[in-house]
Amino acid sequence: MQPTFSSYLLHILSTMFVLLPLPVSPELLTLKQSLGNGNNNNPSSFPPNFLFGTASSAYQYEGGYLSDGKGLNNWDVYTHRPGKVIDGSNGDVAVDHYHRYLVNLLRIHVGFCTALDFAYFADICFKSFGDRVKYWVTFNEPNFQVKFGYREGTFPPSRCSFPFGNCTSGDSEKEPFIAAHNIILSHAAAVHIYRSKYEAKQGGSIGIVINAAWFEPISSSMADKLAAERAQCFTTNWFLDPIVFGIYPPEMQSILGSILPEFSKTEKEMLKKGLDFIGINHYSSYYVQDCMFTACEPGTRTSKTEGLWAQSYQKNGIPIGESRLNLFAMQTDVDWLYVYPGGMEKIITYVKKRFNNTPMIITENGYGEVTKANSTIEDSLQDVNRAKYMAGYLDSLSTAIRKGADVRGYFAWSLLDNFEWEYGFTRRFGLHHVDFKTLKRTPKFSATWYKNFIAESKIPDS
């Protein structure tokens, strides 16, 4: 039996938010001026029709565990197993978006066994919502779904094998590639249905969202440069190459051989015209060291089936992005997120060159903070570092656009503090603070800053 996988459909433009004035300290009142010293860091650096917004997620927001006939999804089952979420929480209530807001069509999380099942589901969505939805995404971060669900076992369906993780069943060396192959074929099936039945009448666009980190060679050696390219091939290009070119990256084919499934002629034909835009979720950057020609300590990504490269957040003891001259050099206390605004321009430029400047949308980009026992609500509301992070990454994005990248929009993660997967409620990414006991929403400083940034980007009609 083939592994099942999580799938997502996203209407990226249905996010709405209301921002209220927030009293701020004198330091924060001068933040906007201090962030505006760069050549490109202003709203006018973006095209007139550029889309700004925030991103949300059904399971992380909605709650409504079994409301109105809802069935169980894989995260409902997974989070009710002891020890799967670090604070023991789940999304039964989340931030109760289902009961507090009637219109909530952001993401639908369900499980499918075959591409045919997914195509049937997509057909229903296109038919039911296509008159209102103009941007469709078939899958959100499939590269992370297969990595955590089938290699490390920290996402549902929690399948893995030693030494990658501790699961009751699974094969970390093979199943990620089977699941990925099925996702790619499911995407192609959904796109085929949209093109043949709905596109002409509805006039929408369809794409896929990939979590795309930037990988910086840790040295100028050719081995490390090739390792950085392999890192992109085994993460981002793993899914985009088949959808755009009809084949897996050559680097993956060379290393994996028969482990990597093949596409039939019919499937390759179906993959043509596989997307209208690429969604990019970008948060962080990392250094990469070669493990193909150089001995590396055993660990994540150093194995053959992961591409033979090692990831590090620092070089010579200095975290990536740190510099005395870098205004935005500040590290988060989220263990996987390292602040390097320049990585945004680099990953966008990379995708532009590799995929013929296919239109892109930044579907997620955000700054996380760990909830501390002694922190106050006021500490959370005065989130100066989040505003700095957004300003730095928006500045880097505007540079990429100025150099020719076809980027159509930017969506901050996230509208609200929410349930952050295996971290539960211990990580806050929201522009609005949520009291998880009362579920009261309060805008943070970053929400006001972002509101003003968007307002100033609007060019009056002549």
Q: Give the pLDDT score at 37.
A: 39
Please report the pLDDT score of residue 66 as a whole number: 66
C-alpha closest to that of 75 among 311, 418, 310, 384 = 418
The set of residues, in sequence order, having a beta carbon less than 8 Å from that of 200 and lying 6+ positions away, is none
Q: In tens digits, what is the pLDDT along the chain, a chain of 462 residues?
A: 333 333 333 333 233 233 333 444 555 555 545 554 334 456 667 988 999 989 887 778 777 776 666 677 777 777 778 777 776 777 676 666 665 654 333 344 445 568 889 999 999 999 999 999 999 999 999 999 999 999 999 999 999 999 999 999 999 999 999 999 999 999 999 999 999 999 999 999 999 999 999 999 999 999 999 999 999 999 999 999 999 999 999 999 999 999 999 999 999 999 988 999 999 999 999 999 999 999 998 877 789 999 999 999 999 888 898 754 454 556 688 889 999 999 999 999 999 999 999 999 999 999 999 988 888 899 899 999 999 999 999 999 999 999 999 999 999 999 999 988 788 878 999 999 999 999 999 999 999 999 999 988 755 444
Q: Kindly list the catalytic residues.
A: 141, 364
- Three-state secondary structure call for residue 348: helix
All structural domains of the chain, each given as residue ranges with its CATH number in brackets, are: 5-215+274-284+343-457 (3.20.20.80)
**Tokens describing residue 257:** 């051989």
pTM value is 0.86
Residues 6+ apart with CB under 8 A from 101: none
Contact between 457 and 43 under an 8 Å Cβ cutoff? The reply is yes
Identify whether the C-beta of residue 136 lies closer than 8 Å to the C-beta of residue 198.
no
Q: What is the pLDDT of residue 81?
A: 81
Q: CA–CA distance from 364 to each of 116, 266, 384 (Å)?
A: 29, 33, 19
What pLDDT, on a 0 to 100 scale, did the predictor assign at position 259? 96
DSSP 236: T
Q: What is the pLDDT of residue 4?
A: 33
The CA angle 100-106-108, to the nearest 5 degrees, is: 105
